[in-house]
Structure 1
Amino acid sequence: MALVLVVDDEESVCEFLTEVLEDAGYRVQTAQDGPRALELISQNPPDAVLLDIRMPELDGMQVMDRIQQQDNRLPVILMTAFGTTEMAIQAMKAGAFDYIIKPFNLDELVLTVKKAVTMRQLAMEVEALREGRTPEPLSMETMIGQSPAMQAVYKNIGRVAASNVTVLIQGESGTGKELVARAIHNNSSRRDGPFIKINCAAIPENLMESELFGHEKGAFTGAGARKPGKFELAHRGTIFLDEIGELSLATQAKLLRVLQEKEFERVGGTEIIRVDVRILAATNKDLEHCVQEGTFREDLYFRLKVVTIWLPPLRERMEDVPVLARAFLQKYSREQNKSVTDFSPEAMALLMQYGWPGNVRELRNVCEQAVVLTRGPVILPEDLPHSLRFPQHAIKENFIKPGMTLKEIVADVERQVILKTLQEHNWNRTATARALGLNRRSLYAKMKEHGLLS
């Protein structure tokens, strides 16, 4: 998720732009003067800067000049309430990416930021290719969803990415836990270091220690040469321990030592290996219940869950189904060299009625199959699996009525989600807004739109 730095001496402007940009899917940092902005840029370079021209101490033109000395590829969008032709020309000649005038046209503002971020990410990708590195996929391309639940996930990623804190990612199978781990890594100071994934459920217990910590030559039958483990390979980067709930108690004890001491020995070795690694872990299990059952160490559990990010199942963010489905449709249509453009209203209605026990992974597989099977440019109900046309996992409230448009279906889902959350929080708007990842103003607007203010 891209990071935007907003620099303005007016706190209200910073707060307003933070709200607008977070709603558009960006992480946001703010500064109210030039020196603080330069400090933030040196600590954690953003993907774009929104910079007010008229500020005390250092004005925007001076700050932009210093930014360009630090990183001349960082796009700077200048803002001012005093727009003149001369100022615009001066700004663009000085190297500004663009120039916008207050009061803002919000659509234009968001579009300008999007263009700047895209340019920055493409420049980083080109640089990676020149240096022989494989660039990571753009995080905004891989994490899809604008529902309040996903906006809350994005914000949590933004809050933890810049630190080295251990993060536990929880959610059902198929919800996208690895994507969250990659987004944290890609938006951290370790982004240029390795991202090493290990699936703890896929490796036999007798090989797990060797996989994690490596082994020396002759350590066991078949160990013909020294082999570095995943922790060693992840030095100065991030290691992602997927399905960590499957680790044995013996391996958990060794992992705890790495978390505490940042050191280990290879299997069959005596040399102490010290590493600088950030640990991210994921599970679809209730680890607290596993602790109570004695299958997971309590001390390791508390070490891992310094910060927890919970990924909602797809059935709890049904408003994201259309955008996810169309993204997968575009991807697989391109891969299959076909010109499939959309779903028929009837096919989309079936997607919206289904309960998605396999979550986003199941939706992706359904879309791939539909693209392969369809004979025309539009996905029809007969292109979808039998399980969707005759579902055992239909959502409980069959709210889709004949003749409803997709917009009406999505609006009805949104109304149900908001109403259910209000009821769960005894109609406390502050608590409801927090649970949905909204601010109070946005919640009020949606309640008014859906007739929930009475």
Structure 2
Amino acid sequence: MPVTDMSSNMPDNTLLFIAEPQSVTSVFSPLKEAGFQAGLADNLAGAINFIKKSKPCLIFTRPVMQGYSAQALLAEAVNIENFPPVIIFSRNGSADEAQKFLELGARDYWLEPLSWEKIKLMLPEKKHPAQLPDEIVPPAKSGSQGTQGRYQVIGNHPAMQRVLGLAKQVAKSKATVLISGESGTGKEMFARFLHHHSDRSDRAFVAINCAALPEHLLESELFGHEKGSFTGAISRKLGKFELASGGTILLDEITEMELGLQAKLLRVLQEGEIDRVGGVETVKVDVRVLATTNRNIEGAVKEGSFRQDLFYRLNVIPLKLPALAQRGDDIMLLAKFFVEKYCREYGLTPLAFSDESVKWLLGYEWPGNVRELQNLMERAVLLSGAGPIASKHFLNDPDAWMPEDSFQPISESSEPGASATGSEQTANTAMPVGGSAHSGVVTISEMEKQLIIRSLDQTSGNRTKAADLLGISVRTLRNKLNDYKKTGLNL
């Protein structure tokens, strides 16, 4: 496939994606809104030609595809002047693969999904528009739901209001903040809230997951390394602390950091200086440090897995976020916000909640907290059709999503091999591949096909979103569609 060039030859505004189109096109729209252009390639020759011609500021690439490997791309870095940073993103990554690519010179290694929220953190700071779209911190509709401005926090529950009040009070200081709470409660959201409302809001916000990499690679990511400091270090690399200098760094899952690296981090907090791996010079940095944890950090200190002195340095301002199940009416406040958001995103009419769905939402335990609520609301929007949203749309059971009369056999007047596409294919039309059209019995394969057709219809043909909705891989979905095409069904 030739390179699909969507750039305007603006080096500082151009990114290159080396991947299958369906895995990256979802980020092109927010990139365009933010003033960036993108190129798309699926082979080494096309990628190298694009790099030389358009000089992208960042490259996002699969580790390997048919006829292509990121290792070969990184090998070309020495032959091209000002080769852009390379970020590897993988469906099923591993620590060994991450180590290999980082040692070969990759800037970072991510697991899917490739999201706009992660990408925008890597974009050149000078190109960040004032109105970057933000999906992480939703806008409030009233003063009771957060401070007016770009970053908002939704929540009227007293526990949330107390945390929000403290966050606003300390936002402009340089004090370190330790944000704790269960997974999915919005710890990173609060970190961004603190940064945006600080005096450093116009500078970089850099986040790193301390659990994602082994100790020696995490040290390089945090503090950088010099050329030749280890195998594959083909050039000097600035660490996250240097990239965040003047701004804010978020150390996510701080309790997963090894003890040896904790001691080096403590020195950074105390002295405000770092040492690159393999370097001989000390580098001064001015960074505000925020940290998050979903573990009992005091317990980790008692167990000896987390340094007590580092805990005291990080815990200057503690923010403990309540679980969603403890927030009462905030559950419906957030649910309505997410439903409105996804209705706009998918171009659907506004949806209401049935009484039984409200009862279900308020009675559920929410082990995944706000993140789980957001995902369920997206599913509900896609499955409910004209509405109202029912509790069955929240269940992890595809058989419960469809009404009993949704699978009707094709009438006798239908011509053999005929298929419906676009608006002709409705949610109540089945495409039988077995069984009798007169039996009233629908086979499992027919139900499977109908669910796939409905999911594609609800996601406007986006296979990645449809696969996520169905709980299958994009490859499995693609294979199913290829089988359907052989029977004459055009999708």
Could you say which residue in structure 1 is the equivalent of 2:165? 155
For 1:99-114, list aligned pairs within 5 A. Answer: none
Q: How does 1:115-134 map to 2 (within 5 A)?
A: 132-134=127-129
CA displacement at 1:346 relative to structure 2: 1.1
The reply to whether residue 172 of structure 1 matches residue 182 of structure 2 is yes
Note the 1:409-448 alignment, pairs <5 A. Answer: none
Q: Distance in 1 between matches of 2:376 and 2:212?
A: 25
Q: How does 1:283-302 map to 2 (within 5 A)?
A: 283-302=293-312
Q: 2:199 & 2:138 partners in 1: Cα distance? A: 18
Aligned to 2:144: none
CA distance in 2, matches of 1:178, 1:386: 27
Corresponding position: 1:313 with 2:320: no
Question: C-alpha displacement at 1:382, in angstroms?
Answer: 2.3
Q: 5 Å matches for 1:20-169?
A: 132-135=127-130, 141=139, 142-169=152-179
Q: Point out where structure 1 has 5 or more consecutive residues left out of the alignment.
A: 1-128, 391-454
Pick aligned residue for 1:189 from 187, 192, 199: 199
What amino acid is aligned across from residue 301 of structure 2 in structure 1? V
Opposite residue 227 of structure 2, the aligned amino acid is K
Partner Cα separation in structure 2 for residue 373 and residue 205 of structure 1: 44
- Which residue is 1:346 aligned to? 356
Is this contact kept in 1: 2:204–2:247, CA < 8 A?
yes
With the length of structure 1 as denominator, give the TM-score of the two structures: 0.55
Letter in 2 for 1:134: P
Paired with 2:282 and 2:214, the residues of 1 have a C-alpha distance of: 25
Q: How far is 1:340 from its partner?
A: 3.7
Contact 2:209/2:252 (<8 A) preserved: yes
Deviations 1:124-183 (A, max 9, x none): xxxxx9x74233557561521111111111101111101100100010000000010000
Stretch deviating more after TM superposition (287-296 or 338-347): 338-347
Q: Residue deviations 1:318-360, cap 9 Å, x none?
A: 2101110011101111222222422111111110110101110
Structure 2 CA distance for aligned equivalents of residues 186 and 297 of structure 1: 30
| Corresponding letter in the other structure for 1:341 | L
1:318 is paired with a residue whose SS is: coil
Instruction: Give deviations 1:371-403, integer Å, cap 9, x for gaps.
Output: 11112232122222158x99xxxxxxxxxxxxx
Higher helix content, 1 or 2: 1
Residues in 2 aligned to 1:250 and 1:137: alpha-carbon distance in whole angstroms: 38
CA-based RMSD of the aligned residues comes to 2.3
C-alpha separation in 2, matches of 1:225 and 1:333: 47
Matched, 1:252 2:247: no
CA spacing shift, 1:302–1:137, aligned 2, 3 Å: farther
SS, match of residue 212 in structure 1: helix
Shift of 1:203: 1.9
Q: Distance in 2 between matches of 1:151 and 1:308?
A: 15
**Match status 1:273 vs 2:283:** yes
Structure 2 letter corresponding to 1:381: S
CA distance in 2, matches of 1:216, 1:250: 20
Greater relative contact order, per chain length (Cα 8 Å cut-off, separation 6+): 1
3-state DSSP class of the match of 1:151? helix
Residues 140, 152 of structure 1: CA spacing in aligned structure 2 closer, same or farther, 3 A cutoff? farther
Amino acid at match of 1:371: V
Deviations 1:62-98 (A, max 9, x none): xxxxxxxxxxxxxxxxxxxxxxxxxxxxxxxxxxxxx
Q: What is aligned with 1:379? A: 389
CA–CA distance in 2 between the matches of 1:170 and 1:334? Answer: 32
Assess if the C-alpha contact under 8 Å between 2:210 and 2:256 holds in 1.
yes
Residue 324 in structure 1 maps to residue 334 in structure 2: yes
**Whole-angstrom CA distance in 2 between matches of 1:137 and 1:256:** 35
Where has structure 1 moved over 6 Å in runs of 4 or more?
A: none
Assess if the C-alpha contact under 8 Å between 1:339 and 1:377 holds in 2.
no
C-alpha separation in 2, matches of 1:277 and 1:132: 21
Secondary structure of the structure 2 residue equivalent to 1:164:
coil
The answer to whether the 8 Å contact 2:351/2:386 transfers is no
User: 1:216 Cα shift?
Assistant: 0.6
Match of 2:12 in 1: none
Aligned residue for 1:282, secondary structure, equals strand
Query: SS in structure 2 opposite 1:215?
Result: coil
Per the alignment, do residues 361 and 140 of structure 1 end up closer, same or farther by CA in structure 2, a change over 3 Å counting? closer
Shift of 1:265: 1.0
Contact 2:249-2:290 at 8 Å conserved across structures = yes
Distance 2:296 2:393 in 1: 37
Matched, 1:234 2:241: no
Q: What does residue 212 of structure 1 align with?
A: 222
List runs of 5+ in structure 2 lacking aligned partners: 1-123, 140-151, 401-491
Output the TM-score relative to the length of structure 2: 0.51
**Partner of residue 200, structure 1:** 210
CA 275–170 in structure 1, closer or farther in 2 if over 3 Å, else same: same
SS in 1 for 2:329: helix
AA of the residue aligned to 2:278 = G
| Aligned counterparts of 1:198 and 1:251: Cα–Cα separation in 2 | 14
Counterpart for residue 413 of structure 1: none
Give, in whole Å, the separation in 1 of the partners of 2:226 and 2:288: 24
Contact map agreement 1:340 1:371 (CA 8 A) in 2: no
Residue of structure 2 equivalent to 1:334:
344
